[in-house]
Structure 1
Amino acid sequence: MLPEHHEHTLATPAICAGVGLHTGERVRLSVRPAPAGSGVVFMRSDITDRDNIIAATAESVTQTRLGTVITNKAGVSVSTIEHLMAALSALGVDNVLIEMDGPEVPIMDGSALPFVQLLDRAGFRRQPMPQSVIEILKPVHVIEGDKRASLLPCDRFEMRFEIEFDSAVIGHQVVDLVVTEDSFRDELMSARTFGFLEGVEALRAAGLARGGSMDNAIVIDGDKVLNAEGLRYTDEFVRHKALDAIGDLYVLGMPILGRFEGIKAGHGLNNALVRALLSRPDAYQVVTLAPALSKAG
């Protein structure tokens, strides 16, 4: 789908079901068309005694341990939104209502691929409102020990991500690319989340990873990948971190004209960077792309 510098929603509803990675609960999810200007909004259909609408905004992110959680003022939350958000961002979907009958977005296969396929089946509808983008004017950095996340001025959306793990399976990996719909489909969307076997019991004791399995994550034991099918890319790990970052940045609510650089960053640092950007009005501007002057593509 070409952006055309107009906002887009879905042509028809898209429905799927699956288990949550951390809760282990089965959830039915429906991505529905929404009016221009409404953004990405989640609705918990299983909650009827208080406000069950949660807008996917920077301010609504309340927790970032092993996933991104958004919560409204009534305390209603939705977790692990990042893979679906990455698919919406990369495919240029501005406005949708995402209905869920549980607390966590289904993990599916651990990547954004099933969500891209879901959105493709639904189709896309152009809306009359011109699309706005957030243009980075000055560098913004967030640093936490040896971890770092930055947004830098650039005339397109670029991403560089770097990770380093002691495991020989991962080691030092870097991905650096221009993020477009095509590059997302080719280079990132099928990269899966990953974890270490020795950490699984600790996560489960903390009430996390209850739905995790080798069907929806790469599991590493020392210097071995336990999944029978192996890796989808030799550097699948860093590609997944880039996928996560695209989803985490989309709580800005619009495409980015800028370059993201992450070193060992995760959901927490990604959200801290978004908040740092929004606290610096001199570092960005929101630009509405005039359809009459733009070229498709």
Structure 2
Amino acid sequence: MIYQRTLKTVITASGVGLHSGDRIRLTLRPAPVDSGIVFCRTDLPEPCALKADPTLVNDTRLSSTLVNSQGVRVGTIEHLMSAFAGLGIDNIVVEMTAQETPIMDGSAAPFIFLLQSAGIVEQKPALKKFIRIKKPLEVSEGDKWVRLDPYEGFKVKLSIEFNHPVFRRSPQTVEVDFAQRSYIDEIARARTFGFMHEVETMRNHGLGLGGNLDNAIVIDDEYVLNQDGLRFPDEFVRHKLLDAIGDLYIIGHPLIAAFSGHKSGHALNNQLLRVLLNTPEAWEFVTFQSSDTAPSSFHQLPESMVV
């Protein structure tokens, strides 16, 4: 059987917000069966909880941000959500002392480390709920598009397009089928990136205030400025894929589907989820009484990772 998962114990970390520049304390807590992924702002006079939900993503400027009806914000959640997806976390409470999650090193790898350090437990006998895509769905905007197709597993294909010397020297398409390849090995370490010429504009809009060479790949007119260079030859498009996996997981369940896109971003990814929710004939909930009947993309975590 494939069961729901949460953490074994509480774990805490701290870091800087990429856009706000705030110092943030992040605490991850185990959560009950069927409670989902819940973010809690503990810095407010009355701590406020927001459950991950595509309809609450109301700001997609350079990140995915949940905003509730009272205007409470929980921002830059896509890297943490991507880590949850990569390790199959269904139920967790995320406590934050500011309006966004810490950026850490700009990838999902530090969050993977935190989750593994806390320990992952299966919540028997509650079965994990998957969303199986039954019909193709697509959202486009000009030459940008994202798409979900029926597929017995989970695979992703993404392409980007930047007219810049660094990108012309780097592959701009990546495809990963998680039946054969590992999220931790192939995706988790890919970092966010930005251009030097955009920094002033971003900061004038209150964004990127915490960004630096320790938590992002920074590119000038010709080169990558980070001393150690890239972690993967195609790190840029791998990070976009990391973002997409996190954005899609805001729906709260793993997708049994093939996701593909070109020049996608947080806004299009969220629009695709909203179309999905508004097209009930295109999907169904499924559970698996035996891991043998589940797509191999979702087989159990290695025993060393499940407590």
TM-score range, shorter chain: over 0.9
Supply the distance in 2 between the matched residues of 1:187 and 1:253 (Cα, whole angstroms): 22
Match of 2:134 in 1: 137
The alpha carbon displacement at 1:123 in A equals: 0.4
For the Cα contact (< 8 Å) 1:91–1:181, is it kept in 2?
A: no
Please state how far the C-alpha of 1:267 moved relative to its aligned partner.
0.4
TM-score (norm. length: structure 1): 0.95
Correspondence list, 1:21-170, <5 A: 21-49=18-46, 52-128=48-124, 129-170=126-167
Q: Is the 8 A contact 2:60 2:266 kept in 1?
A: yes
Identical amino acids, percent of aligned pairs: 47
Query: What is the match of residue 227 of structure 1?
Result: 226
- For residue 143 of structure 2, what is the amino acid of its counterpart? D
Give the aligned partner of residue 4 of structure 2.
7
User: Any stretches of 5+ residues in structure 2 without a counterpart?
Assistant: 301-307
Question: What's the secondary structure of 1:224's corresponding residue?
Answer: coil
Partner Cα separation in structure 2 for residue 180 and residue 20 of structure 1 = 34
**How many aligned residue pairs are there?**
293
**Unaligned segments of structure 1, at least 5 residues:** none
Shift of 1:222: 1.4
Secondary structure of the structure 1 residue equivalent to 2:214: coil
For 1:58 and 1:283, the matched residues in 2 are separated by 17
Residue 193 (structure 1) aligned with residue 189 (structure 2): no
Asked if 2 retains the 8 angstrom alpha-carbon contact of 1:10 and 1:119, the reply is yes
> Partner amino acid for 2:282?
A
1:182 is displaced (CA, Å) by 5.6
Distance 1:249 1:179 in 2: 15
1:209 aligns with 2:205: no
6 and 294 in structure 1: CA distance in 2 versus 1, 3 angstrom threshold: farther
In the alignment, what sits opposite 2:282?
Answer: 283
The alpha-carbon distance between structure 1 residues 160 and 29, as it changes in their structure 2 partners (threshold 3 A), is: same
Q: SS state of the match for residue 73, structure 1?
A: coil
SS of the counterpart of 1:231? Answer: coil
Corresponding position of 1:17? 14
User: Which segments of structure 1 move beyond 4 Å, counting only runs of 4 or more?
Assistant: 291-296
| Aligned-residue offset at 1:251 | 1.0
Equivalent-residue separation in structure 2 for 1:181 and 1:5 (angstroms): 19
Q: Offset of 1:73 from its aligned partner?
A: 2.3
8 Å Cα contact 1:136/1:256 also seen in 2 = yes
1:289 shift after superposition: 2.0
Residues 263/293 of structure 1: CA separation in 2 closer, same or farther (3 Å cut): closer
1:181/1:47 CA distance change after superposition, 3 Å? farther
What SS is found at the alignment partner of 1:126? Answer: strand
Question: SS of the counterpart of 2:166?
Answer: coil
Normalising by structure 2, report the TM-score. Answer: 0.92
- Structure 1 residue 242 and structure 2 residue 241: aligned? yes
> What is the letter of the counterpart of residue 2 of structure 2?
H
